[in-house]
Amino acid sequence: MDRFRMIFQYFQSNSESVMNGICGLLALASVKIYTSFDFNCPCLPKYNTAYGMGIMFVPPIALFLCGLIVNRQSVVMLEEWKRPTGGRKKDLAIIRYMCSSIIQRAMVAPIVWIIVTLLDGKCFICAFSGSIDPEKFAGFANLTQMQTQLLLSKVPCKDDELMRNNTSRKAVSRYLRCWSQALGWSILLLLIVVAFLARWLRPCFNQAAFVQTRYWSNYIDMEQKIFEETCCEHARDFANKCILHFFESMRKEIKLRHFNMPRGEEEADHLRGITDQEQVNKLLKSWYSGKPPLDVSQTTQRQPLGKERACTSVPWVDTVNNRWAAAQKANVSRQTDV
Amino acid sequence: MDKFRMIFQFLQSNQESFMNGICGIMALASAQMYAAFDFNCPCLPRYNLAYGLGILFVPPLVLFLLGFVMNNNVSMLAEEWKRPTGMRQKDPAVLRYMFCSMAQRAMIAPAVWISVTLLDGKCILCAFSTSVPVEKLGNLSYTGLSEKEMKRILARIPCKEIYDGQQLIPNEVAIRYLRCISQALGWSFVLLMTMLAFLVRSLRPCFTQAAFLKSKYWSHYIDIERKLFDETCTEHAKSFAKVCIQQFFEAMNKDMGMGHPHLPEKTPSEAGEEKEKLLGITDQGTMNKLLKSWHKCKPPLCLQQELFQNRNGWAGESQPLSPGSLPKREIIAYYSRV
């Protein structure tokens, strides 16, 4: 039981690690798909380049889109971007942070695909065998243009009858493969250096704002999850009450006074005063059109639904020590006790 | 018990991840089915096309329907669609939401089948072997073959053992060409599907977010209500049966004379507890009426008004109280722990 609670809490609190895990899985899936894919160069003059480049670049695009789709945070970010301002101002820095973290994670699988493709070499050989300089290789010099093109385009196909006993084929193949692997390793090195620098130099620039942005982006994610869970609990209690009322209404002789006791207190807490369809709809609509300001101390008094929450933060401006007030005196969007 | 409650809560609140898990399993099953299927091209002029396209399109249709069948929510959707309106209006937005989410999940396995089929290439090779451009790839001037004869030869391309047109067009060249086309189609299909999924997911928060939250809540509510109603009925049936059997034994006991008090008398409080679980429904006619009325006329989604009614006595009651009985103040626990 404790173990389940711990796993549950872990998922709740650490969506970053979950996202990293999914990103790793996608990268592994990308390698697996490449190895199980049966590469089949057409060995025809114009088709080679199209095929080779296609295999090198189309699957990465699909993997990138997959990475965006699978990441829950992308929907959260879009909702935050597109929501009406209501009682809570939008902070573009947070949206930018979320966007960049989503894109960084989504880029891992495509980059893995491209690097594996280059290190393997088949795509490169297929795409560029027709573009090499035939003078460099003995078997392809002294031929007409058309014949050279034809022969070169058949280089990737070892079993073709024209290429079976051709020694220059191996030379061309090795040459192209060498280029392909050099390119692959260079790209890998470059990316690692860039990642290293980005991570190492980041604390030198604006660390305070970064910590704030990270906190609030986690907060938005958590808030959405908890809202969904609360809706689930509410639906459950609502359904419970509804059904029992229904059974009650079939009774003809028993009269009752309190149907929501002794368990009533717990249930009433869960229902939070929302007890009919109109109120639930109103609640959901006003959650969307006017999110409450981030000021928990004021929610000790329950506010009736539908009231504008736009001007509730006034008494706090003077008393709270607010780091953000330095930049936005009049437009306080969030108060924090951090 | 707590453990089950936690798992239940986790699955409920993460209903999306649960359904996604099932989708993933069906997709893997679809890929495995393709791998285990023994493709067998007929290598005859008109049969090739029919067989190839049949294998490409018929299993996806079957998988799509299977996806609907395996989804528990299909019967829920049908029930909600077909029920009499009664006191609770039907919301077409909720029905649309339920149908769309089911259709999206059911589309994954067919899409995987089609992608794997195209990327493998055997189907397209079989279906379109007679449409290979011989003038580009082979020697059209080889013989003055009739159209029919050429088609017969080309139809044998997928079957290497019986292929006899090596002079007309080499087998490997034709196979490579067709497979290249097939793989290009496959990757384009994959890219198209991921792009569609991405657009659907990312455009939704920009339009209709409030209506979406509403539909999600109420569709979830309908699901929970149905499950809770079944549970309540089961418990009721259990108590009903218990009391029924108890009364039968008591009656038998009385019939056989007063002197055989073998059965231990249940303490009045226990008997009372069982009777209370019956919620006042104590005979077949009433129970049947209750079940019929649940189908014909679901209660309105409004708990507040019944609370109000109860405080004022049973406002809608038509039958007079039994003489001599004052309004009883009873506090009853309705439901056992779920």
Return the higher-pLDDT residue of A116 and B80: A116
CB-based burial, A209-234: b 16+ in 10 Å, e otherwise? eeebbeebbbebbeebbeebbebbeb
Q: Per the CB < 8 Å rule, is A276 touching B301?
A: yes
Q: Distance between CA atoms of A209 and A191, rounded to whole angstroms?
A: 26
Chain B: residue whose CA lies nearest to A263: B333
Per-residue pLDDT of A325-336, as tens digits, reads 333 343 433 433
Per-residue pLDDT of A187-219, as tens digits, reads 999 999 999 998 888 888 888 888 999 999 989
Helix, strand or coil, per DSSP, at residue A334? strand
> CA of A62 to nearest chain B CA: how many angstroms apart?
5
Cβ under 8 Å to B: A residues 90-129: none
Q: Distance between CA atoms of B298 and B290, rounded to whole angstroms?
A: 11
Q: Distance between CA atoms of B257 and B253, rounded to whole angstroms?
A: 7
Maximum pairwise Cα distance, chain A: 108
Q: Per the CB < 8 Å rule, is B301 touching A285?
A: no
For chain B, the residue count is 338
Q: Distance between CA atoms of A6 and A12, rounded to whole angstroms?
A: 10
Residue A305: the pLDDT is 38
When CB atoms are compared, the residue of B6, B302, B322 closest to A8 is B6
pLDDT at A61 exceeding the cut of 90: yes
Chain B: residue whose CA lies nearest to A80: B205
What does pTM read for this prediction? 0.74
> CA of A88 to nearest chain B CA: how many angstroms apart?
17
Mean pLDDT of B148-166: 88
Residue A313: the pLDDT is 35
Q: Per the CB < 8 Å rule, is A235 touching B232?
A: no
Chain B: residue whose CA lies nearest to A288: B210
Helix, strand or coil, per DSSP, at residue B204? helix
Chain B: residue whose CA lies nearest to A246: B299
Residue A298: the pLDDT is 40
> CA of A265 to nearest chain B CA: how many angstroms apart?
13
Residue A161: the pLDDT is 75
> CA of B300 to nearest chain A CA: how many angstroms apart?
8
Helix, strand or coil, per DSSP, at residue B60? helix
Cα Rg for chain B, rounded, in angstroms?
Answer: 33
**Backbone dihedral region of A33: left (phi > 0), alpha (psi from -120 to 50 degrees) or beta?**
alpha
Q: Per the CB < 8 Å rule, is A4 touching B302?
A: no
Residue with tokens 């109420």: B218
Residue with tokens 């058309």: A146
Nearest residue to B164 via CA among B149, B153, B174, B172: B153
Cβ under 8 Å to B: A residues 270-329: 271, 275-277, 280-281, 284-285, 287-289
Residue with tokens 């059911």: B106
- The pLDDT-based confidence of B122 (bands split at 50, 70, 90) is very high
Going along chain B, which residue ranges are E strands? none
